Amino acid sequence: MISAPFHLELAGMTKVYRSAIALQDVCLSIRGGEVVGLIGENGAGKSTLMKALGGTINPEGGQILVDGVTIPALTPTLAAKHGIAFVHQELNPFENLDVTANVLLGREIYKGVFRRLDTAKMVAQVAPILELLGARFGPTDSAADLSLADQQLLEISRALSTNARLVILDEPTSSLTMSETNRLLDVIRQLRDNNVAVLFITHRLSEIEDVADRVVCLRDGRNAGGLALEEINRDAMVRLMIGRDVAQLYDRHTAKIGEPILELRGLRTMTFPNQEVDLTVRAGEIFGLAGLVGAGRTELARAVFGVDPIDGGEIFVAGVHLADHTVAQAIAAGVSLVPEDRKGQGLHLEFGNDQNISLPSLERMTRSPFVNLPAERKLAEASKLQLGIKVSDMRRPVAELSGGNQQKVVLAKWLAMAPKIFIFDEPTRGIDVGAKAEVYALMNTLADGGAAVLMISSDMEEVIGVSDRVGVMCRGRLSGVLERNRVTEENILRLAVE
């Protein structure tokens, strides 16, 4: 690690997009040996500020000072030269390369007159970093074989390999398990002890409480305030982020339970062909599905929706047997799936918001052979109003939206279909506390309206706070179902590790 003193200052940063103010007079400072938590709702300006710091955009106003020296404008190369390293939320490993090649991409080590890759030295350089992070993969493993959690650790390894003076972590734990998260927080503490500055961006406020020395909050592109070490707590951060108290984030009132909507009888997935799952989700209830990473929850959801084939068993929706096990049949029967990977599986990023929302409804929106554009735009505007999607023009590509607003677009396309059952797979991963409250309120509204809601979540607090009943999966089987009065962290964990 580079131990030279480091001090970064951003003063009066201003950025405008098409007359929309993304940043207005934002200030931030950070020194070597401290961890600063940067918080704010989606769309608050955090990403724009990071792009300015990384040199990928040029702000209209403001100053950047590194070690007291004013830098007119940063470029990605100049940012790296000053020891600024990013760990981005979006994971884009080169799957045709191994771990070492990904970590040292652009900084390869060569040997001999013919400049052949010195793979031994490269592996020797990467191995200690992986060991530091407690990675479950090795330097010669293929990036194509890594899970989402492992890909996140790969990105962190790449940043640490540059001997950075400032490491910017953007939602680094969004795909990590509890143990991996705890390990990463230990790594952050080690970086601080080595006089490295860490800017930690996360929606998981408990992690900010664990490691941050200070907190800086952005709201609507402006500084909303800050917290010193002794002031950092969840309630104070929530007040800064949304400008008000959230008296009860999980406002689940008494459910009116109806008839079974989703019934799984002896269902076996291809991942766990020897395990049968019997499960019933009823109208008017939110059924939480908990379990450790790899327990088979997502595989079960994909099988119900017809994305993956099943190895055996039966699926019934409102008494109708889904014999074909196809996505088309599931949708026609009233099944919807909000996938864990909303960018890769839930959205067409290059399409407009209006086009994404109308996709499942195209059959009733098509005047052969053309799409009824006025109807499509009417649906998009109604969805924007209903869900509070923050975008000036619904025809803009969905890729331009924040994570929370992208999640709302995924929800909107299914709401237009009025399904009988909504399957939410990690519905609040990577979105801020304000957007989480909106998602919880929507799930309550859906259940109160008679729909069945199956929510898969790795957030224990979320599962306990939202669910009417909780099923726990362990190694591909349903190890138990807890009624609401028995839903506790201890009971869930006991079933998850059977």
- Look at residue 170 and tell me if it is in a domain: yes
How do residues 173-214 score in pLDDT, each as one tens digit?
876 777 778 888 888 898 898 888 999 998 788 899 999 999
Residue ending a domain, choose from 176, 211, 242: 242
* pLDDT at res. 27: 94
Joined together, the tokens standing for residue 91 give 């994971």
- Look at residue 346 and tell me if it is in a domain: yes
Residues 436, 337 within the same domain: yes
Residues 159, 285 within the same domain: no
Nearest-angstrom CA–CA distance, 35 and 215: 9
Residues 231, 370 within the same domain: no
Read off φ and ψ for residue 480, nearest 5 degrees.
Answer: 170, 160
Is the pLDDT at 263 greater than 70? The verdict is: yes
Residues 265, 360 within the same domain: yes
* pLDDT at res. 258: 92
Is the pLDDT at 348 greater than 70? The verdict is: yes
* pLDDT at res. 2: 43
Stated pTM of the model:
0.61
Least confident of 71-75, 122-126, 448-452: 71-75
Joined together, the tokens standing for residue 80 give 């790296």
The total number of structural domains that make up the chain: 2
- Strands 320-321 and 370-371, bridge-based pairing: unpaired
Is the pLDDT at 458 greater than 80? The verdict is: yes
CB 216 within 8 A of CB 37: yes
Residues 352, 485 within the same domain: yes
Joined together, the tokens standing for residue 60 give 């209209």
Q: How many CB atoms lie within 10 A of CB 297?
A: 25
Residues 221, 341 within the same domain: no
Is the pLDDT at 289 greater than 80? The verdict is: yes
Nearest-angstrom CA–CA distance, 243 and 33: 30
Is the pLDDT at 388 greater than 90? The verdict is: no
CA 486 remoteness from chain centre: 29
- In eight-state DSSP terms, residue 397 is B
Residues 236, 288 within the same domain: no
Residues 6+ apart with CB under 8 A from 492: 290, 460, 463, 464, 470, 472, 482
Locate tokens 């509890």: which residue?
178
Q: How distant, in Å, are the alpha carbons of 88, 177, 384 from that of 363?
A: 38, 40, 21
Is the pLDDT at 429 greater than 90? The verdict is: no
Residues 443, 314 within the same domain: yes
Dihedral (CA of 446, 448, 452, 454) sign? positive
The confidence band for 438, taking pLDDT boundaries of 50, 70 and 90, is confident
Residue ending a domain, choose from 242, 277, 304: 242
The confidence band for 229, taking pLDDT boundaries of 50, 70 and 90, is very high
Residue ending a domain, choose from 191, 210, 242: 242
Residues 226, 331 within the same domain: no
Helices 373-387, 403-415: axis angle to 10 degrees equals 120
Read off φ and ψ for residue 388, nearest 5 degrees.
Answer: 65, 40
What are the DSSP E strand ranges found in 328-419? 335-338, 366-367, 370-371
- Look at residue 379 and tell me if it is in a domain: yes
Residue of 267 and 171 predicted with greater confidence: 267
Residues 304, 227 within the same domain: no
- Look at residue 490 and tell me if it is in a domain: yes
Residues 308, 171 within the same domain: no
Nearest-angstrom CA–CA distance, 478 and 496: 9
* pLDDT at res. 3: 47
Nearest-angstrom CA–CA distance, 294 and 288: 16
What is the residue range of 374's domain? 260-496
- Look at residue 154 and tell me if it is in a domain: yes
CB 60 within 8 A of CB 52: no
Nearest-angstrom CA–CA distance, 106 and 100: 11
Which CATH number fits the domain that encloses residue 86? 3.40.50.300
Please give the span between the terminal C-alpha atoms of the chain, in angstroms, as a whole number: 42
Residues 6+ apart with CB under 8 A from 183: 133, 134
Nearest-angstrom CA–CA distance, 227 and 349: 36
Residues 151, 217 within the same domain: yes
